[in-house]
Amino acid sequence: MVTEQIRYIAPEISLLCFALAVILVDLFVKQKKVLPVIAVVGALVAAVFTIIMFGNPAGEAFYKMITVDQFGMFFKLLILAAVVLVILASNKYVLNFANFQGEYYAVLMLSAIGLMLLVSSINFISIYVSLELSSISLYALVSFLKNKTSSEAGLKYLILGAVASAILLYGMAFIFGLTGNTCLTCIAEYTKGMPVESLAASPVLLIGLVLIIVGFGFKIASVPFQMWVPDVYEGAPTTITAYLSVASKAAGFAVIARILMTAFGMPAWLHTDWGVIIAVLAVLTMTVGNIVAIWQTNIKRLLGYSSIAQAGYLMVGLAAMGMAAKPDAVTNSGLLFFLLSYTLTNLGAFIAIIAISNKINSDNIDDYAGMAKRSPLLAVALTLCLVSLTGLPPTAGLIAKIYIFTGAVNQGLLWLVIIAVINSVISAFYYFKVVKAMWMTEPKSEEKVTASWPEWLALAFCCVLVVVIGVVPGIFINFTQAASKMLGI
């Protein structure tokens, strides 16, 4: 029975095989340029397996530990796309740790396996194991430069991650103690008939739910659990910073949405309770992220606080799902569409930064002065991505914000949308600070800045899709709506 279900995790198994192949080839082949080729092929093969299963009916495997549905497969494709783009962007960056290229690509792929299992998990046990698999890999990747800043970032990420993991496990233990189950659908069967009076008599359910939100709040960089972000983003290899900012965040939102909507989606008073909690955290997250970002002089720290602010916008969509008395297609899929847009936009920005920083050997915004003269194409690409992060036309960022905010307004969260729009205006200040430095300041050097062809390929892919989604978003909206229906909401 179990052996027949192996096909349900074919993408993860194929990616694991290629990760092992990278390690073995690294041992016996001196020409290291073959390693990223194997890694990219591995990610593409895993993506093909995922696409093949996309149209199949949803199914469960391994004693209700894993589900194969379009919601999970949407996020698997998003994670694999991030892996491919990060590998392409690493073409020159890996020279910073030239003797450990095999380990770098292999651990990156192992982290992706953990994230892919995480977005498909429907049991607290499999959720926790998948989370730890991805987290341990990410701790190692953050420390990969092995200098003081990188080691400090890795240690901070490890310690705070361990604390968040313990809090999450404690919350799961509370829910298990109350319901006697770790399966999300089984927990839903227990909670859906609970009257609101039972919460006052025994607040164990609320305590467990709050602890779970706290645990995953670290993963998605929500205030007040965001303290690790700026230091880790600054100290980690820039390629891993890019990966953390999108893949890890996407998986975190996927699993918390699945837990909240599947296990705690009924009764109405329960999903309203956690909807209010998420809405309050959204306000704090976007406000703190945007205000603190204004004072940053390091572009990686700036995008770190930007990532916190973007998490706040994403939480608007999550709050709308919680507050929905009668969910509609816009409310249900707003979170997924925003994540798709954000992934492409943020990766595009980081790929441009990687190419520029490799040449100027600096992450200070002042050193980006006159970049439009030194590398017009990189300056255009970075400007486009920053415009999209701000939420201006004709980019994916504008459509994503309109879409997710519309869902929130539909559920009576106009006050939250007004705060989010004000925060978007604030964000324009620090995004355009970088644009001003590139286009309106004299360069400190006349030396041209170039990128390798894999970096150009990854950057072109991101930028083209950012514009395409901004101009003709229909097909992408349909894709996210189909995926969101699998949550049963």
Two tokens at 479? 């894709």
- Residue 330 is predicted with a pLDDT of 72
Residue with tokens 């955290």: 281
Two tokens at 442? 């004299």
Distance CA 176, CA 488 (A): 22
Cβ-in-10-Å burial (0-12, 13-18, 19+) of 200 comes to: exposed
Cβ contacts of 296-299, under 8 Å, gap ≥ 24? 296/230, 296/365, 296/430, 297/364, 297/365, 297/366, 298/234, 298/363, 298/364, 298/365, 299/353, 299/363, 299/364, 299/365, 299/368, 299/434
Distance CA 432, CA 428 (A): 6
- Residue 415 is predicted with a pLDDT of 93
Give the closest residue to 106 by CA, choosing from 19, 15, 26, 16.
19
Stated pTM of the model: 0.93
473 cis-preceded (ω within 30 degrees of 0): no
The answer to whether residues 234 and 365 touch, using CB atoms and an 8 Å cutoff, is no
Give the closest residue to 479 by CA, choosing from 64, 78, 105, 57.
78
Other CB atoms within 10 A of residue 466 CB = 26
Give 182-206 as a DSSP string.
Answer: -BHHHHHHHHTT--HHHHHH-THHH
pLDDT tens digits, 199-255: 666 688 888 988 999 999 888 888 888 888 888 998 888 899 999 989 999 999 999
- Residue 165 is predicted with a pLDDT of 92
Distance CA 16, CA 108 (A): 11
Distance CA 459, CA 354 (A): 11
Residue with tokens 């233990």: 173
Distance CA 461, CA 37 (A): 18
Two tokens at 450? 């170039």
Cβ-in-10-Å burial (0-12, 13-18, 19+) of 343 comes to: buried
pLDDT tens-digit profile, the chain (489 residues): 566 678 888 899 999 999 999 999 988 888 888 999 999 999 999 999 999 887 777 677 777 888 888 888 999 999 999 999 999 998 888 888 878 888 999 999 999 999 999 999 999 999 999 999 999 999 999 998 888 888 888 898 999 889 999 999 999 999 998 888 889 888 888 887 777 666 666 688 888 988 999 999 888 888 888 888 888 998 888 899 999 989 999 999 999 989 988 888 777 777 778 888 899 999 999 999 999 999 988 899 999 999 999 999 999 998 988 777 666 667 778 889 999 999 999 999 999 999 998 888 888 888 888 888 888 999 999 999 999 999 898 999 999 999 999 988 988 889 999 999 999 999 999 999 999 988 888 887 778 888 888 999 999 999 999 999 999 988 888 888 888 776 654
Strands, E assignment, 6-99: 59-61, 66-68
- Residue 345 is predicted with a pLDDT of 94
In sequence order, the 6+-apart residues with CB closer than 8 A to the CB of 55 are: none
The answer to whether residues 65 and 327 touch, using CB atoms and an 8 Å cutoff, is no
Two tokens at 256? 């918390």
Question: Three-class SS of residue 361?
Answer: coil
Distance CA 335, CA 333 (A): 6
Helix, strand, coil % (nearest 5) of the chain? 80, 0, 20
Mean pLDDT of the chain: 88
Q: How many residues does this entry show for the chain? A: 489
